[in-house]
Structure 1
């Protein structure tokens, strides 16, 4: 990856961690009417956690940051396949794993940025098929 790519992935990782760290009500408000699958969220975060290894090698994350991201990735990996089915908004309300992930994401953000309360990423507009 180039430096611009590193910066983009670094920023996206921090934004996604901010979303994972947010209170459930804020996460649900961020989702709005979007139907985001739990499996998609898990896969996206697992990818960001894996890519962060390379970012750490290039100095974009500190070793302590990497430990936090690994903890989030490990906990996500423990989510049962059956619990990955369905919408993330429903899982947030019913699966206690998301409370643990929220706590790990908050710890990561406090370590990295000094506070877990960060702006949430701008929601991606749903694809409508129109051009």
Structure 2
């Protein structure tokens, strides 16, 4: 992807991600505050909700593609891997290192934003499939 396209696309990706992250954090907070799940498990649930929101927004706005079945399953694989990484990182930070759950989630979100952008732009929504 040319550099002149990458930055604006990343900004759109981050903006769409902010909407998905709002859904993610709402589910996370509700499950933790209701004492229904531990922060790492609640975060994984929230991540899956956020992923659904992100797929729809990114397909149409960021990558300007139709939400095809191929893109959907690729996004799903990426989202499941990210949700698992999210849960593992949250467990390490909150249980292992005793970082407060909200601070831990902010750190994990920042890391996964960059990683999932790279995967989704190069694989899920690539414009010139081989």
TM-score band (shorter)? 0.3 to 0.5
- TM-score normalised over the length of structure 2: 0.36
Q: Which has the higher contact order (CA 8 A, sep 6+)?
A: 1
- TM-score normalised over the length of structure 1: 0.36
